[in-house]
Amino acid sequence: MTKQELEKAAANGLINRRHLLGLGLAGMGTVASTSLLGAEAGFNLEIPGWSKQPGANASGYGSRSKFTDDMQRMSGNPNPLYPGGGSSRSPLHQLQGSITPNSLHFERHHAGIPDIDPAQHKLVIHGLVRQPLVFNYEDLLRYPMVSKIYFLECSGNSGSLFGPNPADGSAQSLHGLVSGAEWTGIPLSTLLDEAGVDPEARWINAVGADAASMGRSIPLNRAMNDVMLALFQNGEPVRPGQGYPMRLFVPGCEGNISVKWLTQIKLTREPTHFRDETSKYTDTRLDRKSQQFTFPMGTKSVITAPSGQMKLERQGIYQVTGIAWSGRGSIRRVEVSADGGRTWADAMIDSHQSEKALARFRIPWQWSGGDAVLQSRATDSQGNVQPTRTSLVTEKGNISTYHFHGIQSWAINTAGDVSNVYA
């Protein structure tokens, strides 16, 4: 490796992001300055066994390497007092890029995953329309569709950070209720127009075909905007855990309103005030008034590596990486701090930066064995800046624990242990 001065970008080891392009810095846990496979390591490379015999045949349905089997969603134990209730969290700390594989996309169910035969499934649009209509799956597949990359986040994600003490958790356990995917479906406006929206209608009421018949009310103006009836996720039919054969998809908004297993859309003057938009998913403020229908998710970022419960084994250069998103636009900027928010450096944002999608960020960081607190701070295309945890909790209180989007702090101690802290 050619000797080159690393340009400092902020205190405590942050290095200018442009070195990511030119320097070939190695990934997590690798020291860039020393070569472990060098001559001193004392062994010769040989042709491995798998290069000496034919491998497995092509298969009808792919599976991952058994060496990556430990990459799992984290899901709660089945609870007989809450049949089918619960969630599974994406392993953010093990993923890269900005698309979550379907098998690792987070899930949240309120009464389990129904086993729906698409030939029997119906989607009804009725209420304040010119002509109530019922749609079959096969027919819906013939409609013009759009494909868009969006994040999906449960409004309960990161909720433990409202708590008075920092939980001992990982990026997955604390923030794993967010994922990103390409969704393909029919603009909902196409189907609403076919039924003919009555000028009196102000809300759509969406209901799923699960055992909880999950219902949510969504203002008609939003429903006519970028909402879609999603039929495909990352190119394949939406999986049962995501609403097969069809779900509503409301870009940028709290996941629960993207009603899965969608079977009914009723247009009305007023919202229904379903249980999951009154009792739950509402934000009680310090003055004890509660905000209802708080849909767009805040401007947010999370460092996924190094992150909670990891251990830095050696000093050297690490690639700090994470994801950022906003329910109100695209991500313009992500800054990273290694000194608990005193100094900041701009991270490199990868790939596309489309509206309401995950953006991957990266920045090199030199760990010299001292204490550090890593933070990231996102800014979206509307100029919204991710707030500190303290300002968010001061403003919102912690009676409700939805819609947390404050800055996360990962402390690294001199032993290299990474943990969630409030800084």
Residue of 234, 342, 301 lying closest to 12 (CA atoms): 342
The item of another protein, ligand HEC, none sharing an interface with residue 201, based on CB under 5 to 8 Å by kind, is none
Window 177-236: residues binding another protein (CB under 8 A): 190-191, 194-195, 205, 207, 211-213, 215, 219, 221-222
The answer to the question of residue 307 lying near another protein (CB under 8 A) is no
Measured CA to CA, the distance from residue 295 to residue 302 in angstroms comes to 20
The item of ligand HEC, another protein, none sharing an interface with residue 4, based on CB under 5 to 8 Å by kind, is none
Least Å distance, CB 107 to another protein, is 18
Measured CA to CA, the distance from residue 407 to residue 393 in angstroms comes to 11
Query: For another protein, which is the closer residue by CB, 318 or 402?
Result: 402
Query: For another protein, which is the closer residue by CB, 1 or 399?
Result: 399
The item of another protein, ligand HEC, none sharing an interface with residue 132, based on CB under 5 to 8 Å by kind, is another protein
> Judged by CB under 8 A, which of 23, 133, 201, 421 binds another protein?
133
> Judged by CB under 8 A, which of 342, 395, 399, 417 binds another protein?
399
Q: Within a 10 A sphere around the Cβ of 58, how many other Cβ atoms?
A: 5
Query: For ligand HEC, which is the closer residue by CB, 82 or 163?
Result: 82
First to last CA, the chain: 37
Query: For ligand HEC, which is the closer residue by CB, 79 or 147?
Result: 79
Least Å distance, CB 42 to ligand HEC, is 59
CA 365: distance to chain centroid?
24
Least Å distance, CB 178 to ligand HEC, is 20
Measured CA to CA, the distance from residue 110 to residue 213 in angstroms comes to 9
Place of tokens 């990474």: 418
User: What is the signed CA dihedral for 392, 340, 316, 29, rounded to 10 degrees?
Assistant: -20
Tokens for 129, please give them: 């329309």
Measured CA to CA, the distance from residue 407 to residue 298 in angstroms comes to 11
Is the link from the previous residue into 132 a cis peptide, with omega within 30 of 0?
no
Residue type, 83: P
Q: Within a 10 A sphere around the Cβ of 134, how many other Cβ atoms?
A: 12
Least Å distance, CB 276 to ligand HEC, is 7
Least Å distance, CB 84 to ligand HEC, is 9
User: What is the signed CA dihedral for 415, 418, 419, 421, rounded to 10 degrees?
Assistant: 90
The item of ligand HEC, another protein, none sharing an interface with residue 135, based on CB under 5 to 8 Å by kind, is another protein
> Judged by CB under 8 A, which of 139, 200, 395, 417 binds another protein?
139
Q: Is 239 in contact with 102 (CB distance < 8 Å)?
A: yes
> Judged by CB under 8 A, which of 83, 235, 370, 383 binds another protein?
83
User: Segment near another protein (CB under 8 A), from 3-11, 126-134, 303-311, 316-324?
Assistant: 126-134
SS3 212: coil
Which parts of this chain interact with ligand HEC (CB under 6 A)? 81-83, 85, 110, 275, 279
The answer to the question of residue 265 lying near another protein (CB under 8 A) is no
The answer to the question of residue 352 lying near another protein (CB under 8 A) is no
Query: For another protein, which is the closer residue by CB, 133 or 373?
Result: 133
The item of another protein, ligand HEC, none sharing an interface with residue 32, based on CB under 5 to 8 Å by kind, is none
User: Segment near another protein (CB under 8 A), from 1-9, 44-52, 80-88, 312-320?
Assistant: 80-88
Residue type, 144: P
The item of ligand HEC, another protein, none sharing an interface with residue 8, based on CB under 5 to 8 Å by kind, is none
The answer to the question of residue 288 lying near another protein (CB under 8 A) is yes
Least Å distance, CB 190 to another protein, is 7
Measured CA to CA, the distance from residue 388 to residue 402 in angstroms comes to 16
Measured CA to CA, the distance from residue 415 to residue 67 in angstroms comes to 28
Query: For another protein, which is the closer residue by CB, 1 or 167?
Result: 167
Buried/exposed code over 66-89 (b: 16+ C-beta within 10 A; e: otherwise): eeeeebebeeeeeeeeeeeebbbb
Tokens for 13, please give them: 């080891």
Report H helices in 185-248. Answer: 188-195, 220-223
Measured CA to CA, the distance from residue 127 to residue 272 in angstroms comes to 13
Which residues of the chain form contacts with another protein (CB under 8 A)? 81-83, 85, 110-111, 124-126, 131-136, 139-140, 142-144, 190-191, 194-195, 205, 207, 211-213, 215, 219, 221-222, 264, 266, 268, 270-275, 278-279, 282, 284, 288-296, 328, 398-399
